[in-house]
Each structure stands twice: as structure tokens, then as C-alpha cells.
Amino acid sequence: MDMSGFRIFLDTAEVDEIRAAASTGLINGVATNPRKIMLSGKTYRQVLDEIRAFFDGPIAFQALGRDIDEVCRHAREIHAMDPCLAVKVTANGFGLAAVKRLAAEGVRTNATLIYNPTQALMAALAGSPFISPFIGRARMTGSDGIAAIGTMRQLLDAWNLTETCIIGASIKDVEQVIQVILAGAHSVAIPFAVFEAMMDHPMTALGLEGFLDAAAQSGNGRADGARSVRTDEPAQTR
């Protein structure tokens, strides 16, 4: 799989945020979870239909269940809504067995809630094209999620498992984005606030204001070179 096509996933179910991010052309997919869907007050179907009105990239919805059959049943229902969806499956024992079964059926999965590097290895062996190790939640329990991603990448590379994309998830700030990528993640799943922060800096805003002021004073604010006319000048001086 060409990992370059999947770099930035927006981690939200808020359609207005997805629309704003998609308008930049800089996101490749959308990651949701049951809690985010619940907070939106909508169903999977409603969220999907609203997003598909303006975005045709992969969207991740979680398949739920307490055994292989329940997870597979829900995953198939999600897949039937849109074959381009990535069905999130919990990376535990029965979840990974479900991934193996679903992969054979052509259902695209995203093995999620990964903390242990061997969970990532087993998910890749099961045939999941996406895996999502959680960074922020790992740190809340005293674990080093960044180091874990580095180990996951080493494991996948060692066994030449090149068809699985590591998506660093549960990211809380721009610094974690940088650390996750340098550790070896192919992609990141980020909240809208982090997405916006990745394109901003106080000195950038300050510098732009200075450039705009200078251009207004020199008449170089227009591509044709025509000097801008200040509407607050007296008519006789224009």
C-alpha cells in the first residue's frame, strides 16, 4: 500500500470541523469513535451522509461487539454502508481474529486501541491495512506511547509487513505530531485544534501584519502594481 496517500486523518465527528479541514485539501481521511459519534447526536449513517456530501476519502467507524461474530456482524453492516470506509476493530484477541476474517472478505479495517507493540505486529499479520496506536492515553498511564510507535515500526519493517499503515492516534498537541512522525508513524490522526495549530505560529501572524502594512504604504499590495487608494484621504489628495 502506498502510505503517501494517507498522511493526515482528522480525529472528529463534527461535520463543520471536517468541512473546514477538507476545504484546505490537506486531510486524507477522517477518524471517528463511538464517543465522538455520541457527542454529535447523530447516527453513523447520518454522519457518513453529511461527510460524503463534500469529502470522498476514507472514514473510520468503530465496529463493536464482545466476541468475533458480533464484531464481524457490525463490521459488515458498516462496510455495506460504504466500501471505502475503514472499519475500526479493537486489537484484542477476538478483535484481531475478526480482523483476519474480515480481511479475507475484503473489508478494510483499522485495528485500534493499540498500546503494546506486539498488538501492532499481530494486527499487521492479520491483514489490517491500518493500525492505530494511542499516544495521549498511553502517557496518561505512565507509558511511553512515542517509544512504542518506534518499536512497532521496527517490528513491521523487520518482517517486511509493508501493507500496514501506522496511524499515530490520541494526539494532544503539535509536539506530539512531530514526535510520532519521527518515531516512525506513517500517518497521524489529529483533532481539529491540532490541525489548525500545525499551520500557525504567533510570529507568522505578526510577520504577515507587518508585510500587509508595508504593502499598503508602498502600493505593492496589488499584483498589477497599482497603488492602493486610501478611502480616508481627502478627495483633493487622491
Nearest to 227 by CA among 235, 236, 216, 213: 216
Q: Residue 205 in 3-state DSSP?
A: helix
Element (H, E) at 132: strand 130-133
Q: In angstroms, rounded to a whole number, what is the distance separating the alpha carbons of residues 177 and 212?
A: 31
CA-to-CA separations, 34 to 41, 66, 75, 193, in angstroms, rounded: 11, 15, 13, 20
Alpha-carbon distance of 119 to 49, in angstroms, equals 32
Phi, psi angles (nearest 5°) of residue 57:
-80, 180
Cα 218 to Cα 152, 204, 208, distances in angstroms: 55, 21, 15
Pairing of strands 109-114, 8-11: unpaired
Candidate list 36, 42, 88, 172, residue with the active-site label: 88
Annotation says 36 is catalytic:
no
How far is 110 from 61, CA to CA, in rounded Å? 9
165 φ/ψ angles, rounded to the nearest 5 degrees: -95, 120
List, by residue number, the catalytic residues: 88
